[in-house]
Amino acid sequence: MRDVAVLGVGMTPFGRHAGKSCVELFAEAAMDAIVESNITTQDVEALILANCLGEFTGGQMVMAGMAAGELALRPSTPAIRVENACASGSTAIYTGFLMVASGMKDLVLVGGVERALAMDTPMATRTFAMGSDGRYEFYSGVTFPGVFAMLTRLYSQKYGIPLKKLKEQMAMVAVKNHKNAVPNERAQFRKEITIDTVLKSFMVSDPLQLFDCCPFSDGAAAIVLAPMDIAKKYVDKPVRIGGIGMGSNRALIHQKDFTIMKARQESSKAAYTMAGISPKDVDVVELHDCFTIAEIVATEMLGFFKPGEGAEAVEKGETSMSGSIPVNPSGGLKAKGHPIGATGVAQAFEVVNQLRGKCGERQVKDAKIGLTDTLGGDICAVVNTVFIID
């Protein structure tokens, strides 16, 4: 198996892009990644594009093929669309990694795009809920705010943390991530908030309030992958994918205690093992904070803290920019935004730039090893990737 590296990365601002189609939006991020890689569109040997809701937001199927045409890729270039709920972008990276590592392709463009803000809130809520079990859960009214509200209560009860105190600790996650997003010019929300802002916002799904939840977003991101020996010919600082893992699980209805997410544990374990590292070696992580409680539980499942100790770690500042493990320096899904198909690739964009020391005010000092974590659907699809700069 060949070592796989990232050459260039590209990303649009996240927010509202009402005047552009998904294909046009992705082309912007893709061209930035291609230019930074010092290649041309004619050098691209495959395109893997993540997108979930193109049929609903733009009436567009075969989006990967349309994007390949927009970028004027060669007619011989395979173009594949990937859908895996919120883990779609990272699943695209996983697919591209396999292509390059196997020797099948040398220069692979991987990306993701979504225009969730093209839908109104009821429609967006309905389509997002399709990531739950379509046989039993979806038609029972299950939505993801409801799922993570249940997780909040379960976490509180299991670990003996009074709900009021847990909500304050969760609010600290939101405050941290909004603060991190302020210097991020591509973030959707670049404004600091307070704990009171969170606790006084309206209730979405008790006990989750508005500022516990990530927003709907438009946006695109892209990266170019190549074997390490070829990557060194194009860029000075290729970032190696040291390890990658992917886990899956049954629908939530079968997961009795989802404070313990086995798919995430196994996925991250596979990525750590392949990279030859442990959680304590990670310098920076971009993880899936779709809700504030989700960030807390993710830090535990990734091995940074023991189960039940993630909330206290936030309170102690362990996940802040100056803490033992800086979490979501980009602002995370919570403040950077969450255009579903693009999210996992945007996490890679941030980690690659962190390892290259290109993040300015939000730069994590001496970052050499980074991790991305993306969760999809009913906690039934998880992808973790370890990035290393040698």
Per-residue pLDDT averaged across 48-74, rounded? 92
Q: Quick one: DSSP state of residue 68?
A: H
| Per-residue pLDDT tens over the stretch 247-261 | 998 877 777 788 999
What pLDDT is attached to residue 290? 96
Q: Does residue 134 carry a pLDDT above 80?
A: no
Q: Does residue 289 carry a pLDDT above 90?
A: yes
Token look-up 């959680």 returns 279
Q: Quick one: DSSP state of residue 38?
A: T
State the DSSP H helix or E strand holding residue 81, giving kind and residue range, or none if neither: strand 79-82
What pLDDT is attached to residue 57? 84
* Separation of alpha carbons 120 and 107, rounded Å: 38
Comparing 278 with 252, the larger pLDDT belongs to 278
**Catalytic residue (choose from 22, 86, 214, 290):** 86
Comparing 299 with 131, the larger pLDDT belongs to 299
**Catalytic residue (choose from 214, 338, 359, 380):** 338
| Per-residue pLDDT tens over the stretch 362-385 | 999 999 999 999 999 888 899 999
Task: Report residue 72 as tokens.
Answer: 């004027």
The architecture CATH gives domain 127-215+243-388: 3-Layer(aba) Sandwich (3.40)
Q: Does residue 124 carry a pLDDT above 90?
A: no
For the ranges 31-40, 41-50, 220-229, 249-258, the lowest mean pLDDT is seen at: 249-258
Active site residue 338: yes
What pLDDT is attached to residue 364? 98
State the pLDDT confidence band at 79, using cuts at 50, 70 and 90.
very high
Per-residue pLDDT averaged across 317-333, rounded? 98
Q: Does residue 132 carry a pLDDT above 80?
A: no
β-strands 79-82, 46-50 pairing: parallel
* Separation of alpha carbons 347 and 64, rounded Å: 20
For the ranges 33-37, 133-137, 147-151, 347-351, the lowest mean pLDDT is seen at: 133-137
* Separation of alpha carbons 150 and 139, rounded Å: 18
Token look-up 């996940």 returns 319
Question: Which residues, at least 6 apart from 381, have a Cβ–Cβ distance to it below 8 Å?
Answer: 84, 85, 87, 91, 246, 247, 248, 249, 263, 375
The domain limits of the chain are 4-120+217-240, 127-215+243-388
Residue type, 185: E
| Per-residue pLDDT tens over the stretch 330-356 | 999 999 999 999 999 999 999 999 999
Active site residue 86: yes
Distance of CA 36 to the CA centre of its chain: 21
Q: Does residue 138 carry a pLDDT above 80?
A: no
Per-residue pLDDT averaged across 317-327, rounded? 97
Per-residue pLDDT averaged across 155-159, rounded? 98
Q: How many CB atoms lie within 10 A of CB 382?
A: 31
What does the DSSP assignment read for 223-271?
EEEEEHHHHHHH-SSPEEEEEEEEEE---GGG-S-TTS-HHHHHHHHHH
Q: Are 118 and 18 in contact (CB under 8 A)?
A: yes
State the pLDDT confidence band at 58, using cuts at 50, 70 and 90.
confident
For the ranges 64-73, 119-128, 179-188, 353-362, the lowest mean pLDDT is seen at: 119-128
* Separation of alpha carbons 289 and 298, rounded Å: 8
What pLDDT is attached to residue 23? 96
* Separation of alpha carbons 351 and 203, rounded Å: 33
Looking at the chain, the whole-number percentage of residues with pLDDT higher than 70 is 100
Per-residue pLDDT averaged across 224-248, rounded? 96
What pLDDT is attached to residue 149? 96
| Per-residue pLDDT tens over the stretch 175-217 | 999 999 999 999 999 999 999 999 999 999 999 999 999 999 9
Q: Does residue 78 carry a pLDDT above 80?
A: yes
Question: Which residues, at least 6 apart from 337, have a Cβ–Cβ distance to it below 8 Å?
Answer: 14, 15, 187, 188, 189, 214, 215, 217, 219
Residue type, 108: V
Fold of the domain spanning 4-120+217-240: Peroxisomal Thiolase; Chain A, domain 1 (3.40.47)
* Separation of alpha carbons 264 and 249, rounded Å: 9
Cα Rg, the chain, nearest whole Å: 19
127-215+243-388 has the same fold as 4-120+217-240 = yes
> Average per-residue pLDDT in the chain?
95
C-alpha dist (Å) from residue 258 to 137, 298, 331, 345: 16, 11, 25, 26
What pLDDT is attached to residue 380? 85
β-strands 79-82, 284-286 pairing: unpaired
C-alpha dist (Å) from residue 359 to 45, 176, 195, 351, 367: 30, 17, 26, 9, 11
Compute the C-alpha angle 60/23/103, nearest 5°: 105
For the ranges 36-50, 89-103, 206-220, 255-269, the lowest mean pLDDT is seen at: 255-269
- Predicted TM-score (pTM) of this structure: 0.96
